[in-house]
Amino acid sequence: MEKGEGILHILHTNDLHSHFEWMSCIAAGLKSIRLAVQEREEPVVTVDLGDHMDRAQLKTEATWGQANIDVLNETGYDLATIGNNEGLTFPRIKLDQLYRNATFPVICANLLDAKTKQIPPFLKPYLIKQYGDLTVGWIGITASFSSVYELLGLTALVPEKVVAEYVAAIRSRVDLIVILSHIGYSGDVEMARSIKGIDIILGAHTHTYLAEGEMVKNTLICQTGKFGEYIGHVTVTYDKQTKAVQKMRADCLPTRLYEPDKKIEEVIERHQERAENIMGEVITSLKYDLPVSWEEESPLSNLLAAGLRVWVDAEISLVNSGTLLFSLRKGKVTRKDLLSLCPHPINPCRMKLNGRQLLVILEEALDASVIHREVNGFGFRGKVIGWLSIDGAEVHYDKYAPVGRRIKRVEIQGAPLQEERLYTVGTIDMFTFGIIFPMFKQGTENKFYLPEFLRDVLQKQLQDEKELQKTAHKRWHEI
């Protein structure tokens, strides 16, 4: 560093998704870097970009995220923003409790209380802080799943519009503007191109790995991949007199290079013991095995489909067997078993589809490419899509017929399917994106059921002996 120059260090993580196995090494790495730069009397800030929590993981589920907050606190984070795995999978009251226990502010400018139209008490829209000679403005944003947030009492505004407004409001008061973004790489690039005055965007959501960051116009975009495999380190060199930024550099440091931090390991072990006790609760005891298959109709997936139809009050339900990761054996079933079986943060939903659209979906469901398709994202924590399980309908098909003509007859609630009639369909929120079955995207009158997950539906079914006895009844009939 030359005379008259100052350096600010920003350390960042994103999308850990409750991979606790990396957290003690992350803590060690962050502490090591902070110690080194503080010895040079250079300021350093540590931030997390959201999706630190994931309710698919035992400790997060059992403690409603408190295990994550305790790790973040002990690690010494200074700031964080909220990801969709925090915002959409935790009830509002739980989020409020969690972030009240945080020793750092959580900033997000595009989530408002739906009633008051104000930022919720557990969030701040932005923060202005002084680091040495440099004044930094931090603005947080998250992906705007607006229709789902409304069900949680929150209004999600368009992130880019909100950022533009806040940048314009604070630019004259700060030397550097940093966006804590959980909207994904393409959204970050678009912001950098269209909004003047942003210096750095620290990104998340899309699990993009940018080894040395990426300059778009005058904005440095950074993201460290996923699961805590890397720590991001941004250095900002500036002129102490004018406060003008002279250069910015981004690096991704492999977490595996650091030995685990003992204090963090102790925090994690304490929560592991607590989680085992909580999740060891027996929810039912099965009198017989309940197998699941990803390649054909099976009792356990039929049980889920039946529960889904009743849960959302639909005429027919459609859910993929790949949401169930293994068969259940005779005997006790615990909350831990249920979480392992169905770990996805996927919600039930209801929509209207006509008979013709349903026929297209049922036909596509027979394609081997669909059954064996691997999916990443959209809340899915399984391997493949699997067989399309149904309830409320009987489907007669000829698997040897030409593609597009394999479905021969369908009855819904005992009556022949009518192509022009609208049916009430129970399914899962993942399908509404149209990623597997495009017809689902044409559904109307969509209603999402939050905060319930599929495993909540399944738990109710597993505790109902009458429902268990119906699982062997076939819905798909080969002719």
Peptide bond into 451 cis (omega under 30): yes
Residues 92 and 472: their CA atoms lie apart, in Å, by: 39
Structure confidence at residue 1 as a pLDDT band (50, 70, 90): low
Report which of 30, 97, 105 is spatially closest to residue 66, judged by C-alpha positions.
Answer: 97
Express each pLDDT in 425-479 by its tens digit.
999 999 999 989 999 999 999 999 988 999 999 999 999 999 999 999 999 999 9
Express each pLDDT in 246-278 by its tens digit.
999 999 999 999 999 999 999 999 999 999 999
pLDDT at 147: 87
pLDDT at 270: 98
Express each pLDDT in 193-243 by its tens digit.
999 999 999 999 999 999 999 999 999 999 999 999 999 999 999 999 999
Residues 448 and 285: their CA atoms lie apart, in Å, by: 30
Structure confidence at residue 2 as a pLDDT band (50, 70, 90): low
Query: Contact at 8 Å (CB) between 126 and 141?
Result: no
Report which of 278, 276, 235, 275 is spatially closest to residue 253, judged by C-alpha positions.
Answer: 235
Average pLDDT, the chain: 97
How many residues make up the chain in this entry?
A: 479
* Topology (CATH level 3) of domain 281-478: 5'-nucleotidase;  domain 2 (3.90.780)
User: What one-character DSSP code corresponds to residue 57?
Assistant: S
Burial of 112 (0-12, 13-18, 19+ CB in 10 A): buried
Which DSSP string corresponds to 226-248?
A: STTSEEEEEEEEEETTT--EEEE
pLDDT at 116 exceeding the cut of 60: yes
Q: Phi and psi at residue 35, in whole multiples of 5°?
A: -60, -45
Where in the chain are the domains? 5-275, 281-478
pLDDT at 451: 86
- For residue 155, the tally of other CB atoms under 10 A from its CB is 17
What value does the mean pLDDT take over residues 109-115? 97
Give this prediction's pTM.
0.92
Express each pLDDT in 369-384 by its tens digit.
999 999 988 889 999 9
- Sign of the CA dihedral with 274 first, then 450, 376, and 106 last: negative
Residues 239 and 231: their CA atoms lie apart, in Å, by: 26
Superfamily name with CATH number, domain 5-275: Metallo-dependent phosphatases (3.60.21.10)
Provide the greatest CA pair distance for the chain: 83
**Residue 166 three-state SS:** helix
Q: CB pairs under 8 A, 24+ apart, for 456-460?
A: 457/304, 457/307, 457/308, 457/311, 457/348, 458/303, 458/304, 458/307, 458/324, 458/338, 458/341, 458/342, 459/283, 459/284, 459/338, 460/307, 460/311
Q: How distant, in Å, are the alpha carbons of 77, 154, 189, 203 from that of 221?
A: 20, 28, 8, 7
Answer yes or no: same fold for 5-275 and 281-478. Answer: no
pLDDT at 403 exceeding the cut of 70: yes
